[in-house]
Amino acid sequence: MRVQDLMNRSHPSIYPDELATKARALLRDLKLRVLPVVNDNRQLLGVVSRNDVMVISSSVSVVRVKGIMSAVRFAPSVDMDIIEVVREMMRLGEWYVPVVKSQRDNMYQGVLGLEHVMKAFYDRKAAALKVPLSEVMSSEHLLVCSPEDEADNVWYKMKDRSFAACPVLAKKKTVGMITQQDLIESGATFPAFEAKKGRFRNPPTILTVMKTPALTLKASNNVGDAAKLMLTKDIGRIPIVDNKGQLVGIVDREDIVRAILK
For 152-186, the pLDDT digits (tens) are: 889 889 888 888 899 999 998 999 999 988 888 87
Neighbours of 160 (CB within 10 A): 9
pLDDT of residue 191: 45
pLDDT of residue 1: 92
Contact status, residue 253 vs residue 236, Cβ threshold 8 Å: yes
DSSP calls for 58-117: -TT---BGGGT-B--S---BTTSBHHHHHHHHHHHT-SEEEEES-SS--BEEEEEEHHHH
The secondary structure element, H or E, covering residue 193 is: helix 190-194
CATH fold of the domain at 130-261:
CBS-domain (3.10.580)
pLDDT of residue 62: 85
pLDDT of residue 212: 85
Query: What does each C-alpha distance from 184 to 88, 123, 139, 209 come to in angstroms?
Result: 29, 32, 28, 10
The one-letter amino acid at 10? S
224 alpha-carbon distance from chain centroid: 20
CATH 3.10.580.10 assigned to 3-117: yes
Q: Are strands 165-170 and 173-179 parallel, antiparallel or unpaired?
A: antiparallel
Distance CA 108, CA 115 (A): 20
List, by residue range, all CATH 3.10.580.10 domains of the chain: 3-117, 130-261
Contact status, residue 155 vs residue 54, Cβ threshold 8 Å: yes
The one-letter amino acid at 44? L
pLDDT of residue 125: 86
Spans of the chain below 50 pLDDT: 189-200
Q: Count how many residues are written for the chain.
A: 262
Please tell me whether the peptide bond between 204 and the residue prior to it is cis, using omega within 30 degrees of 0.
no
The secondary structure element, H or E, covering residue 257 is: helix 253-261
Distance CA 208, CA 1 (A): 44
